[in-house]
Structure 1
Amino acid sequence: MKISRVIKILFIIFTFLLITSCEKKREKIVSKIDNTAEIKRLTAIADEDFDRNEYAKAYKNYQIILQLSDPEKNRIDYVDALVSIALIQQFEGNYLKSEITATKILPHLKHLKKPRFAWETYKIFSDNYLATKDYENALIYAKKAYDLNASPRREANALANIALVYMHTGEHKKAIKIYNKITTSGYYAEKKKANTLEGYELIDYGIMISNIGISYFQLQDPRAIDYFNQALKIRLKTNDRQNLPDSYCNLSDYYLDKNPRLAKKNAETAYKIACETNTYSEKKYALVCLVRTSNGSDLKKYTNLYIKFTDSMNKSRLTEKNQFANIKYNFKKDIDENLQLKTQKTQNELQLERQKNRSYILYVIIFISVFSLVFLVFHITIKGKREKDHIAFKSELRISQKLHTELTNEVFKLFSKVQNSDIETAGNKEEILNSLDHIYAKTRKISKENSTILTNQNYVDGFKEMISEYANSNLSIIINGINSFSWSSIDRIKKITVFRIFQELFENVQKNNNASLVSISFKKDKKNIQITYIDNSTEIKEESVNLKKRLQNVENRIKTIKGTLNFESNQESGFKISFTFPL
């Protein structure tokens, strides 16, 4: 029965390994399925949701696109999804995650002929660094985008990003000069003149007009209001809900001292739209405007809203600098990276083949290991059972021998007395009853010595009861300190060992000395328990060597609980033994 059970276990393990191997092969087959059509369909849906500012839906579909895409075969859709995800994370104010996502695009840029992906990636880096007040890196990436051989529109927008960095660093005159150049000449000026400025181009144009107004406002130039109104008009026309809160906040700031009621109205409108689009920076700006324009209970309300909103965001992501992109992708090492990318595919194929061979070897090793483990467990179980049976047999034999040694003579004497005496005589009857009590006491004592020891909350009571059985009219036993600490925190094995040690010590007292008084003291320090046994025996016949031999079993027990034993015998002071063990 046991062998068949082992065979069943091995069969189940082998079946599991076989299924796992098949699953891995099936995954490889599935990974080869062409998902291009589904990727295109999801990209169209996600882009539409993105344009409608429904970022949660778009984000979910872009993540699915990443899972379905082969980064090499579907590289354009894969990179496009990464760009969109990085932008959504940026809109939500999670600049660190946005930068990490954008970093994943960098290895693919060398394989993409169109520079628009590089342009988008550099712009994301620039905007993230700008939001975290790292203006030096923001300007570096804005200039990288401008240096690309991109379309006239992207070239103009890259120049606008450079102006935006100047605006944030307080160089408003420099920013106005660049924005005026973009809006009055070149691509945007020509499109406006031809009346063909619409869609995203008109949205970008509105951002530039708004930023000119902000710079004029910071310079306390009255021309600011004309640009604010012009930007608002463009954003209402294009339904640019992403940037509408910015326009209303600008108007709120402008009217703060001139018309407080109108300033608050614009701030409320900005906050309402920002809540709908759930754009972090716009929502935060709108709350700031509401705090500025409110008083009384409204001031308290919007202040609490602002504190709650900013505290809910992970502040560390606004200040944490992710240097991963700069460390791993240093653009001054393009030649080395290009060589690395060329050899990467060959290395991956070689690694894949090696991994396949390792997998086969691993399956064999796992099977042998599992078989060996099962066999070892089976062997240890059988061996443990045998040892347990052997220990039980030895225990029974020891008890039997002890009963024979200590009770045979007593029972024989009692039988002889019963046969040869008149049990009706009062004296004989009393003597026989005493003999029976004596035999019962010895039997009960042997039973107690080999019975289960309670190690729960009743341990101390059981210990005292065991000690009391050795006390009689000729021997007094004093116990000190046993209740001075909690025994519940002490290990079960250690409590049993202490119990058995004292059983053996008192057996020694009865057999080998004439002590009339025994003192036992317990003491606990931070890490140890110290127990001291002292008696007043005066007839210790054995020499020191014999005494050690007689207490060898006690010493062995103490060693099993990592304790130490010290003992001494002196005919004048009696016998003393102390042992210490760790908690």
Structure 2
Amino acid sequence: MKNLKFTFLFFVVCSLFLLASCSPKEELKSSNNSKQDSISVFLQEMKNDTLAFETRLQSADKALQWIHSTKDSLDTKEILLYKIYLFGNLMHYDSAINTSKELLQKEIKKNDSASISQSYYQLAYYYDREQQKDSAYYYYNLIKNEFLTYNDSITNGRILNEIAGIERVYGDYNASEFSGLSALNYLGDKDSLSSANVYTNWAISSKLQGQVTDALLFYKKAIDLASSKEQKLIIANNIAITYRDIGDYTTSIKILDSLLKDTITIFRTRARVIDNLAYVKWLAKTNENVLPELEKAMEMRLKENDLWGLIASYAHLSTYYENINSKTALSYASKMYDVAIRQNSTPDQLEALQKLIALDNPIKAKEYYRRYLRLNDSLQNAKQIAKNQFAKIKYDSDKNREENSQLKISTANKELEIQKGKTTNVLLFTSGSTIFITLLIFIYYKRKKYQIEKRVEVYKTEERISKKIHDEIANNMVNIMNKVQYTENPKEVLLDDLEKVYLLTRDISHQNNSIETGAHFEPFLKSMLTSFNSNTTTVILKDIQKVGMDLIAKEKQIELYRILQELMVNMRKHSEATLVAITFKVDKNQLHINYSDNGKGLDLKELKFKNGLKNVETRIKSIPGTITFESSLNNGFKVFISFKK
């Protein structure tokens, strides 16, 4: 849906509104005719849509240079707006962002709220195009708060739809659904195009969460609301892809075939349909000769410089050649990876790396696998950070709006507040006392709860040790005694059995021994973690020496040790992992620890009832800190830990 994004249409509307006074047919009015003659040539060339965008940009720069050199009082807003527009058409989004910031500073000095909001929109739009979604989200949120004060329901709905799309990209599906619902409440039946986009966003979210039936229902609602033929074609293409992904190739082919027979005016859309139809036909019948269509779509996209489309073409061609010519398949996978990096698309980079791992030689495949792990971890961290940032942005904006409202009320009732000063002081004192007492009660309650939880932990630890001694050591000792008494096993067999009992007692001792803290904590922790290395499992520690473990408070060191020990024990017992990676990082006095293994994973619904991990959450809350689990069956296990040093 990248070509369907409302931001493009809305930007066109905003641009037409902003640039209404900038028509190429108009002349800049000035009381000074000589100045008009000097700069008019540059302005006319800047506005001349028959010239190349680069030429028009040069004319805009010359106009600005003329104004600065002559110290003319002519407003440069018109020129800066044209520069932003021209940079956008050239896809120089970083330059469009910088020019938008320059214009924003001018509007802030003028205190022109309408123009400031328009600059916010330009920044949000171009940050979105540059794939800097967090920055785009920030400015969209500023616009939303500004237009809420104007009761502009359509604009509010459109901006909320953009916010919903970014939240969906970062996997914050609940927030995305809520923003989309808020958008529909504002839009009503006033803007069917934007309403269709809301349902399309919901469809994509449902599909990403595996709710295919819901996705199809939302797509069908979107196509009913679509207000243009091109929009309907794109949504129909998405419906066909959904049927393809669930294996209903017949329905998918039927839809795409009908689209191809229709009149598709947009070149990129036609290339997309040709590519998708050929690929689905091949999935249905792998002996189908679809190569000419796949290559035709690729050539169309190369001619159009459609980089997003090329990612899809290279992916399909790589898959097509996998069992025919592995060298060609590898070449297309490599091209897909290069374009995905250019487009800063992490999901596409991950997909390309999976192909490269499967197709390249073992040495390179190993390096690709390392990149995949790093990139995947980075993506998950980025999503979590973005969610936290989004929440903070919402909180700050709501807080600022509330503070502004309170300021207006305070100003309007200043005299009344003076007259009621004494009463207010009494109320403040009473409220302060109440809050203080409540805080003391809360602290006492938290301490008592913590003490109870610690006693429960001690009891559970003792119970677990007792069970281990009974189930593991005692039973083994009985077996050894029986062998000694009733069999004639060689001494070597008995010694092996005794060694196993010794190793069991050592493990129990290590799991429950006293913990070195302070300056000795780091080597003590490393020793415990690396003790889980074995012939079948490799444990990798990254940057543990860079985070200053000795500076962590003693009680936090103890809890961290037990948390990581619990994770490692769980790994050895249940995961069947061959590789465990633990990364340590400090950011603004916040310690982040990321655990990842390639084991068989588990169902997160059962997390609180199995594998002894239920104690981990209790421990991290006592520090206090946060812990997040990510896993699914046969897909590894990840844990993200964070707390203040």
Q: TM-score range by the shorter chain?
A: 0.3 to 0.5
TM-score, scaled relative to structure 2: 0.41
- TM-score normalised by structure 1 residue count: 0.45
Larger radius of gyration: 1
